[in-house]
A and B are shown apart, each in its own frame.
Chain A
Amino acid sequence: MSEDPALGELLDILSDEYAREILAATSIKPMSAQELADECEMSKPTVYRRVERLQGHGLLEEQTKIRTRNNHYSVYTATLSEVSIELDTGSFEAAVTRTDESFPGERESDTADRFKKMWEDL
Chain B
Amino acid sequence: MAPVATVIDWVIIALALGSTLVGSYVGYQAYRGYRRHDSRTMQALSMGLFFLTAVAFSIAFVGSLLLREGYLGLQYQQPLTLVTRLFQFFGVLLIAYSLHSRG
Residues of A within 8 A of B (CB): 86, 88, 93, 95, 110-113, 115-116, 119-120, 122
Contacts and interface: CB of A to CB of B under 8 A. Distances in A.
Interface of B is mostly: helix
Contact of A111 (B29, B39, B42, B102): B29
B32 A112 contact: yes
8 contacts: A86-B36, A110-B32, A112-B29, A115-B42, A116-B42, A119-B41, A119-B45, A122-B99
Contacts of B98: 119
Given A112-B33, A116-B30, 4 more contacts: A88-B35, A93-B36, A115-B33, A119-B41
B102 to A, nearest CB: 8
Interface residues of B, number: 16
B33 A113 contact: yes
**Taking each of B36, B39, B98, B99, which has the highest tally of chain A beta carbons within 10 Å of its own beta carbon?**
B36
Contacts of B39: 116, 120
A48 to B, nearest CB: 33
Contact of B30 (A86, A93, A119, A122): A119
Nearest to A117: B33
Nearest to B33: A116
Interface in B60-93: none
